[in-house]
């Protein structure tokens, strides 16, 4: 059993993540082969407390900032994108849980401060209001981390005779659900993002939360003094995806720089890549492209944390800009990795090279629907032009 700590600073958490890099890198190929995170990784992460970044302090967690979470998962992503993704998604689901009524939070973390939650908030319509709560039936793909979770957080859409009544989310114990093995993909193979299935599961009223209210910053939690759980829902949920991507970009850059003094430039008179002006220019461009992504990530994190600290809900334009930042980060990390591979060469696609896994992981994770640059830029562009939510392509802002 891990020691319950409630006060750990950002520097210490990042240090713990960095110290795990050799283990995660050593197990990265096994994670791909098994299509799940090795239990050795999970146990090491648990011991380091890295699943507790977003659990309320009063329930044994660290209740840290989104900026700290980004840096921790970026550090993990330098060694294994899949592991970093599971940590990021598990932590954001812990944050989602911290928005519920206190009774629901205690259902999850009260008996087990190490409880982990996996979630998908795309809604199923298989929900019926009954006395004391809801009966829920549905299927939710792709639930990252579900193989290592004790609870599920999933979306439901209540329908009435005249159409939708409310879009919400519910918390259900994983032992009342099943998991279908559906995660067969080109990248992020180790995340085990399979399909969670519920068959007529009863969910008590206190474990339901309205998403439509949540988008407006109206959460059920009684603990309104906790700044972390005042953050704007969609900016928070979207930015959480970027930490692993930043780590993958850093990993690619480090690998190319490390190999450059030892690698020849084939079919040229240059002895090594490091001597090549063309290589130097590409690496500089890639590094600055990654810096661009980092600067946008930090700006968005500072905005989200800052508004929450003030106890104010982010205005629409600020939320739209954060959504735009996420799309920009996704695109810039992938652009940087492409530049790095152009410089590094085709041998980076050898099965024996970590570079090809980094490329596949980044190009899979970077195309998550919430990180889609085209949608994100359209959302931000409309907001800049004063086109409100009624003219938007999505409510998820």
Q: Where are the domains of the chain?
A: 10-102, 116-214, 233-391
Q: Do 323 and 379 contact (CB within 8 A), yes or no?
A: yes
pTM, whole model, 2 decimals? 0.95
Residues 6+ apart with CB under 8 A from 53: 13, 61, 62, 64, 68, 69, 72, 91, 94
Look up tokens 């009524």; give the residue: 101
Quote the CA–CA distance of 286 and 293 in Å, as a whole number. 11
- Tell me which fold the domain 116-214 belongs to: Butyryl-CoA Dehydrogenase, subunit A; domain 2 (2.40.110)
Quote the CA–CA distance of 268 and 302 in Å, as a whole number. 47
Q: Which CATH superfamily is domain 10-102 in?
A: Acyl-CoA dehydrogenase/oxidase, N-terminal domain (1.10.540.10)
Q: Is 164 left (phi over 0), alpha (psi -120 to 50) or beta?
A: beta
Residues 6+ apart with CB under 8 A from 322: 232, 234, 235, 238, 239, 300, 303, 304, 314
DSSP for 52-100?
Answer: -TTS-GGGT-----HHHHHHHHHHHHTT-HHHHHHHHHHHHHHHHHTTS
Q: How many residues can be counted in the chain?
A: 397
Full pLDDT tens readout for the chain, 397 residues: 344 566 789 999 999 999 999 999 999 999 999 999 999 999 999 999 999 999 999 999 999 999 999 999 999 999 999 999 999 999 999 999 999 999 999 999 998 999 999 999 888 889 999 999 999 999 999 999 999 999 999 999 998 888 788 899 999 999 999 999 999 999 999 999 999 999 999 999 999 999 999 999 999 999 999 999 999 999 999 999 999 999 999 999 999 999 999 988 888 888 899 999 999 999 999 999 999 999 999 999 999 999 999 999 999 999 999 999 999 999 999 999 999 999 999 989 999 999 999 999 999 999 998 988 999 999 999 999 988 666 678 888 9
Output the furthest CA–CA distance in the chain (Å, rounded).
79
Angle (CA) 372 235 65, round 5°? 125
Q: Do 328 and 268 contact (CB within 8 A), yes or no?
A: no
Q: Which two tokens stand for residue 292?
A: 């661009």
Look up tokens 């999970």; give the residue: 42
Query: How is domain 233-391 classified at the architecture level of CATH?
Result: Up-down Bundle (1.20)
Judged on CB neighbours under 10 Å (0-12, 13-18, 19+), 371 is buried
Task: Please list the helix, strand and coil fractions of the chain in percent, rounded to the nearest 5, in that order.
Answer: 55, 15, 30
Alpha carbon distances (Å) from 189 to 30, 86, 145: 10, 11, 12
């Amino acid at each position: 059993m891990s020691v319950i700590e409630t006060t750990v600073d950002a520097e210490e958490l990042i240090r713990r993540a960095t110290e795990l890099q050799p283990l995660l890198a050593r197990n990265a190929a096994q994670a791909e082969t098994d299509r799940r995170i090795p239990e050795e990784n999970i146990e090491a992460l648990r011991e380091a407390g890295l699943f507790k970044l977003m659990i309320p302090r009063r329930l044994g967690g660290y209740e840290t900032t989104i900026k700290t979470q980004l840096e921790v998962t970026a550090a993990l992503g330098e060694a294994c994108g899949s592991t970093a993704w599971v940590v990021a998604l598990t932590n954001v689901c812990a944050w989602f849980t911290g928005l519920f009524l206190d009774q629901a939070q205690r259902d999850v973390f009260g008996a087990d401060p190490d409880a982990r939650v996996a979630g998908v908030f795309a809604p199923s319509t298989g929900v019926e209001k009954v006395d004391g709560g809801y009966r829920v039936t549905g299927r939710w793909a792709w639930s990252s981390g579900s193989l290592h979770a004790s609870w599920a957080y999933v979306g439901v859409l209540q329908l009435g005779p005249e159409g939708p009544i409310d879009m919400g989310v519910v918390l259900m114990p994983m032992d009342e659900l099943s998991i279908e093995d559906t995660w067969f993909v080109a990248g992020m193979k180790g995340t085990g993002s399979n399909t969670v299935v519920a068959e007529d599961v009863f969910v008590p009223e206190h474990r339901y939360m309205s998403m439509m209210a949540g988008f407006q910053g109206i959460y059920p939690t009684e603990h309104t003094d906790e700044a972390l759980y005042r953050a704007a829902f969609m900016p928070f949920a979207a930015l959480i995806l970027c930490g692993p991507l930043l780590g993958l970009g850093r990993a690619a850059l480090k690998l190319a720089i490390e190999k450059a003094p030892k690698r020849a430039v084939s079919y040229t008179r240059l002895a090594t890549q490091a001597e090549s002006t063309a290589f130097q220019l590409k690496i500089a461009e890639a590094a600055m492209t990654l810096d661009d992504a980092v600067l946008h990530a930090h700006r968005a994190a500072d905005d989200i944390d800052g508004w929450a600290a003030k106890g104010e809900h982010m205005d629409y334009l600020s939320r739209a800009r954060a959504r735009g930042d996420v799309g920009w980060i996704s695109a810039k990390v992938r652009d940087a990795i492409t530049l790095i591979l152009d410089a590094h060469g085709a041998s980076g696609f050898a099965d024996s090279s970590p570079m090809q896994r980094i490329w596949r992981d980044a190009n899979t994770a970077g195309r998550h629907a919430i990180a889609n640059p085209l949608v994100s830029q359209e959302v931000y562009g409309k907001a800049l032009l004063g086109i409100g939510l009624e003219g938007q392509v999505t409510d998820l802002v």
